[in-house]
Chain A
């Protein structure tokens, strides 16, 4: 008896030693919003897609530098004889529940994601037909040549058809929840161990992941922390290892404490001012009520010259922003190197332009801004308003939460407004499609071009750009569009939104320009 006890004791001791030697690398991180669902097709919003990218995978994925790289598809090439792409799928991939990944799952996921109930269906607008060639080959047929298609579906995540149908989650939840809103079964590097919506979500590595893990995380816990001060406190007190984002003004504080470090980068989101191009009169003006001065490019240009980006950068953003000159930041494919100049800060010029346009002593107008959407958005608008005022453009500033901002913009209820745009496809074509092409509901074009900026040539160029395979020809057309829109000051691009993450020193991670946080690149030292 005694012996066996002794033995088992020793044994137990040995085990515990072993357990210690393979140290569990738990990792806690926080962000401002909780992914509202675990269903990759139900909601097309950054928090959800960013989070689910750790669990589900698409045919292609983006690397640390945003470049497209093989994921569930090992390779892809244009179809012969018709428009579209063929994807050669990776073999031997299994979902977390062990079932094998085949073209059927891709087909199923396509049908699911392009269904009316799905919020991401717009990705598939150009798709006319999808054909399963064999278990590991699938064709996406598009209405027109579409060079960008592969990169445009980087966030199109693949569900296991059997699992989804078995749990009657064949369609994304619309009004009521379904199995897929709380449960996951992906091919990705991690899988959900437990989830308490809005409180915390625990992820554990997916043992059967096809790719070789760079990370050493054995358990990761995500907590949404809405109040930025609280979030920072949580980091500084060591309760969490990493938080995205932290407020600009706290960077110094975090850096000054040892044991913590800040990652600064540029998001792909460009912040800009838009105009009510199509209004014939100003809505909010007290003095100029018969016309809409913003229809005159000189006035728009004047507004551009009135803005002192240097001061805004220094004071509001602590020198952490890059000014923007077009609707995408440098580095995005299609970025027009030929048109890198933005209206410089020149109040005198602004006044002249206004005078030329017939408003020597300026006018009042309404400026709409969010106060909870972009970094320092409210402060930015107040600063801009006072700079406008300096040249005689007296802005009637009104700020509000984003929840009733979009409806106001959709109802054209503005003279000038603030907008941030991140090219979902990481290509210049995206903003041209949504922001520069004149509004066209049938073709679903210009759907976020609230002021309805309209230029025949731009409208004409968009389809050509979309279909042009030859890179140089395409770039030439894009350059033209940028040229036009810059001359006409369709928008005033301000800067690219900075990305500021903070973590403990012992954490290595990668900050990607789309502000997606990828657990698979995290190492805890």
Chain B
């Protein structure tokens, strides 16, 4: 149905044209789900945008053919193209939170779309809309349809989005990371829905995602992309099962498995990442040893509760607080890694902030190595824990001050905690630390924006280590990274943890990743602990149903495919 031949998309820039997609070839049949997989910057989304004709200015299709049935998409003028959108091709965006007009009722948005393409009465349009929402699994759609987007939960919203994309019965739907913003539970529901639509309604899907698990689960055929080029394509089982290309193999190797813990990922040296040079690495290593190796330190949380003031709605009565964490109690044994898993809103990050003293618990006690650990503002700026507990954040793009040089960022903890008073010594130490995390020494004089996400995350780790911490808190350190980069970072963290006997609290929504890191696991949901235990037991014989469900729903690849 859709045939794309040597499609080439270019973006003019002041450095001349940048080729975003080159000689792309693919085809999608009726009712086929075609996965388009690749790491960030691979040009997946650009392909989708080119097909539906929504390339961001000033990008343009430089070459190639795009045929939808017998319509040549490149020959259409502005108006024909617009008329075709929705009618025959439609699109689903990543974030359901932002893809609906917040000021319009769902009903209006649906009806408006239907009427835009079909000459039927409003009443008919409404009935169709209702049926559609039913089909999407929204109870008493007729009533719910009157609501505004903000009145739906994320999953529901994505269903509405899909309904909107479907309401005009398009032949092809381009789904750009449709489940990335969703929790596993919702994700699997949405994936099922897509599968069903493909089978029942015979809609063709182009499923753009970076998550190989998702592809493996529902894609019939798959195209692997890198740097705007097609690496290989074909039936999913064949491409992912017996990959021909090295890149595909590496990709598969980097995917963390859910069902077992692997010591080290097999990853190629990413460009820019150097293997720690003995001299330098050791220097920093020795410096760290002096501070850390002896007596690692543990954490204990006892009956910790965290609540935020709710939104005030009356002059008189105080709003009921919103409880973020309820009766949290667990131990982090010295020198071990505790993984904390949970869906969004489970309170993972709140927990991290509480430990680091950004948030004050309303009740409960925290201790570090037996000594009480005050929370929030009560923790003095010069409290020892300020130094001993360091954190690695989720977003590598915002965790480093983009206006400061790497050198300044790294040196900050050194002088702040008076660990190294001499300026030159600080600089040298920073350079060594960089090489320890696998970064070249030149990096020290550059600005964060000159590095990739993975590199920044390494720098963030270096910054944390330079405080000579005993406890390292990692809040979703890899969730913004591509799998291969994620693999590298996980390797790094494992290495450092082993080397310096760091106590690590590793927070992630991704069970597979946590399994690779954690000795013990804490499963959070809605601010409550559902299950605690050694990760082996929790992963193999979960007791809480919630844990069971999570494990069941996480998309996995057939064991057979593993390289």
Direct A–B contact present (CB less than 8 angstroms) = no
Contacts from B to A (Cβ < 8 Å) = none
